[in-house]
């Protein structure tokens, strides 16, 4: 049977395939992508002859022939350059992303963006409908593909369909601003099971459904158009074995020692690792750090802040402004408190391999995770997984999904600068013996709720849907 005619009993679809293209000289090759979703689904998909992943390759243009990388069967879905601007940069990341993150910046509503979003979702749904065997299980991921469950249900009512939203679902009062609110809800209700990161996200979704459709909701079971859709909270984890293995790797540990020495071997290293995004609260922590230095509550003689801001969605409206604001703050802190050859803030606007990030986690006495809103935030969990001696303090925003699990972290409200300053100061001065019990509790949770366990729980629940 030709690959394009093959039918699969388990189909995953997300905006991107689980691979990325890298260049070695003049030769391009595909390698597995980093990230929680790929790690979570690897045990289910890698080497499974009945599993396929449909998504975009990351390269604009028509879909290419199916291919296999590291055990993942990949079926490319084409997205043109124009559609990327309207569907991805536009509706996905300038309409849905800000709206679902509490409208921290005003969402934009453009009919041309919506038209492109609907067109691309139809293309994904058609691809999955063609790939799925009779009675197959389909798992759809994230905010780029909110219409796919409903479109797929129309085309293939025989399928078992799951959907997982990796970002927050907003309060009903925010969601109903969306001009296409009913279309999105109806699209999602094509699924048998809808998973969200937190119970609050599940509650918000059910309230929005009741407001918009009038559908009967019993607990987290929604009855609509003669069908039942279950809704549940499934907090995603990380590949703890991989992170712990890297943290124990002598080469990574040697790199950590090298990094700390390059920073001047300070007594305390504070670390932030984020995508450069207005939701991440980078500016908030930099202002708090500046004020702590100005007030003498932290000293440049024994304290440095390392901020990694990985490039992200640079073409989307607003991101250039975020970068400018962050870099101005870094310059202000270093200009006022640094000395020649010894900046107090070490700022890196670049991507790093996971080995380098783990080395950074190892040297961080204080991890700053201060988003204004975040679906989960796996950086917090990665840091915890890298502390085998139970040292270190995690300063964590209450407005992350991770805060619902890592309750012994130093929880803060990122909108309260004074509260954040107090937490940072206390964390920087906390003796290791006092920090150990909180870290030990968080490590136990992170080790038990892994990415693989998350996938197993969701799929087991989906299998039980009537």
- The whole-angstrom separation of Cα 44 and Cα 48 is 7
Residue whose entry in the numeric block shows the structure tokens 């809800």: 185
Q: What do you get for the CA distance between the two ends of the chain, in Å?
A: 32
> Cβ distance 254 to 384 under 8 Å?
no
How many CA atoms does the CB half-sphere of 368 hold within 13 Å?
Answer: 33
- The whole-angstrom separation of Cα 427 and Cα 35 is 28
Neighbours of 296 (CB within 10 A): 7
What DSSP assignment string belongs to 351-405? Answer: ---HHHHHHHHHH-SEEEE--SSBS--HHHHHHHHT-TT---EEEEETTBGGGGT
- The whole-angstrom separation of Cα 100 and Cα 354 is 28
- The whole-angstrom separation of Cα 248 and Cα 242 is 10
- The whole-angstrom separation of Cα 275 and Cα 308 is 8
Q: Is 75 a catalytic residue?
A: no
- The whole-angstrom separation of Cα 20 and Cα 5 is 25
> Cβ distance 87 to 123 under 8 Å?
no
β-pair partners for 221: 218, 230
* Active-site entry in 142, 192, 239, 374: 374
* Active-site entry in 166, 349, 352, 429: 166
Q: Is 374 a catalytic residue?
A: yes
Please name which of 462, 413, 415, 367 lies closest in space to residue 149, comparing C-alpha atoms: 462
Q: Sign of the CA dihedral 245, 248, 249, 253? A: positive
Question: Which residues are known to be catalytic?
Answer: 166, 374
């Amino acid at each position: 049977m030709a690959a394009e005619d093959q039918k699969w009993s388990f189909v995953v679809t997300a905006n991107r395939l689980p691979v990325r293209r890298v260049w070695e000289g003049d030769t391009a090759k595909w390698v597995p992508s980093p990230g929680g979703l790929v790690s979570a689904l690897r045990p289910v998909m890698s080497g499974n002859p009945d599993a396929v992943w449909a998504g975009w390759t990351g390269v604009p243009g028509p879909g290419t022939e199916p291919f296999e990388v590291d055990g993942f069967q990949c079926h490319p879905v084409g997205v043109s350059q124009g559609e990327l601007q309207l569907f991805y940069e536009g509706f996905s990341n300038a309409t849905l992303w800000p709206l679902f993150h509490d409208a921290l910046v005003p969402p934009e509503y453009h009919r041309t963006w919506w038209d492109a979003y609907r067109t691309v979702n139809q293309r994904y749904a058609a691809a999955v409908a063609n790939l799925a065997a009779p009675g197959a299980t389909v798992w759809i991921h994230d905010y780029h593909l909110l219409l796919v469950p409903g479109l797929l249900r129309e085309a293939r009512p025989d399928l078992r369909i799951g959907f997982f939203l990796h970002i927050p679902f907003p309060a009903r009062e925010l969601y109903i601003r969306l001009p296409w609110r009913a279309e999105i809800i109806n699209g999602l209700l094509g699924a048998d099971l809808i998973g969200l990161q937190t119970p609050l996200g599940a509650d918000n979704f059910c309230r929005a459904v009741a407001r918009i459709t009038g559908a009967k909701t019993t607990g987290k079971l929604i009855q609509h158009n003669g069908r039942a859709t279950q809704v549940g909270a499934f907090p995603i984890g990380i590949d703890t074995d991989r992170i712990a293995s890297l943290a124990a790797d002598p080469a990574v540990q040697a790199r950590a020692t090298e990094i700390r020495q390059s920073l001047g071997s300070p007594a305390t290293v504070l670390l932030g690792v984020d995508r450069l995004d207005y939701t991440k609260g980078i500016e908030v922590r930099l202002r708090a750090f500046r004020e702590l230095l100005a007030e003498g509550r932290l000293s440049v003689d024994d304290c440095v802040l390392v901020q990694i801001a990985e490039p992200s969605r640079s073409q989307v409206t607003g991101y250039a402004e975020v970068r400018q604001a962050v870099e101005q703050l870094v310059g202000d802190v270093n200009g006022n408190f640094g000395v020649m050859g010894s900046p107090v803030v070490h700022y890196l606007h670049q991507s790093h391999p996971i080995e380098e990030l783990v080395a950074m986690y190892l040297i961080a006495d204080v991890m700053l995770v201060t988003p204004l809103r975040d679906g989960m935030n796996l950086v917090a969990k990665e840091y915890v997984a890298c502390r085998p001696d139970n040292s270190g303090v995690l300063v964590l925003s209450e407005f992350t999904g991770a805060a619902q699990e890592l309750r012994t972290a130093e929880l803060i409200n990122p909108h309260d600068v004074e509260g954040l300053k107090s937490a940072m100061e206390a964390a920087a001065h906390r003796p290791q013996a006092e920090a150990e019990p909180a870290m030990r509790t968080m490590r136990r949770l992170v080790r038990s709720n892994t990415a693989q366990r998350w996938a197993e729980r969701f799929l087991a629940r989906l299998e039980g849907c009537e």
